[in-house]
Amino acid sequence: DAKTTQPNSMESNEEEPVHLPCNHSTISGTDYIHWYRQLPSQGPEYVIHGLTSNVNNRMASLAIAEDRKSSTLILHRATLRDAAVYYCILTPGNQFYFGTGTSLTVIP
Amino acid sequence: EAQVTQNPRYLITVTGKKLTVTCSQNMNHEYMSWYRQDPGLGLRQIYYSMNVEVTDKGDVPEGYKVSRKEKRNFPLILESPSPNQTSLYFCASSSPRAEQFFGPGTRLTVL
């Protein structure tokens, strides 16, 4: 399995940045790193993905370590709507291994 | 509207009674996939398909079948459901290596 390790839960204050870590020490050279999130009672939704370089989009930034064995999802200003479970996923080939994710609580 | 649809959304059935959960997407995506979600175990991939007539096993394929006869449809078949297949099921589609779009989920209970 392409395994990732994430903290079970994290808290953040509203309007502050959030750094969600992920370890993936067994990553291989062709594995992409994806982040999805799942809001309560909904299906997962895409956040961001990358291979080697840091990536930015309108939702978040993805910082990938130089050795690619860890990555960090950065939400620049957490809102109450960002409260969700965040999954860090490796994709060896065409398979997706979601794991159990990090439950993010945003405190008003 | 671009979307992935699943039917039914809720299903209660009995052990051994064959059932099919349908999944359809209108985005012309090549890649489609099925997941199950269980408390404490996160999402686990059951089967995926790279294109018509091409399917592969995911992490937990036992007890499930799939088919991909048309690009837009990817039904999940449980030929003899058992209580341990009680779960929340999600279908997803995407272009290769791109973001996956997920359906709303099907909550299945097998008695």
Going residue by residue through chain B (111 aa), what tens digit of pLDDT does each one get? 889 999 999 999 999 999 999 999 999 999 999 999 998 888 999 999 999 999 999 999 999 999 999 999 999 999 999 999 999 999 999 998 788 999 999 999 999
The answer to whether A90 and A31 have CB atoms below 8 angstroms apart is yes
CA distance A99 to B40: 9
Joined together, the tokens standing for residue A37 give 């999130």
A36 in contact with B, Cβ within 8 Å: yes
A94 in contact with B, Cβ within 8 Å: yes
CA distance A91 to B34: 15
- By DSSP bridging, strand B87-94 and strand B101-102 are antiparallel
| Per-residue confidence (pLDDT) for residue B87, from 0 to 100 | 97
| Per-residue confidence (pLDDT) for residue A2, from 0 to 100 | 62
The answer to whether B103 and B6 have CB atoms below 8 angstroms apart is yes
The answer to whether B72 and B25 have CB atoms below 8 angstroms apart is yes
Beta bridge partners of B7: B22
Q: SS3 of A80, please?
A: helix
CA distance B20 to B24: 13
Q: How many CA atoms lie within 13 A of A48 on its CB side?
A: 22
Confidence band, pLDDT 50/70/90 cuts, at residue A100? confident
| Per-residue confidence (pLDDT) for residue A66, from 0 to 100 | 93
Confidence band, pLDDT 50/70/90 cuts, at residue A30? confident
Q: Do B59 and A97 touch (CB under 8 A)?
A: yes
Q: Which of B43, B60, B93 to mutate to test the interface with A (most CBs of A within 10 A)?
A: B43
| Per-residue confidence (pLDDT) for residue B37, from 0 to 100 | 95
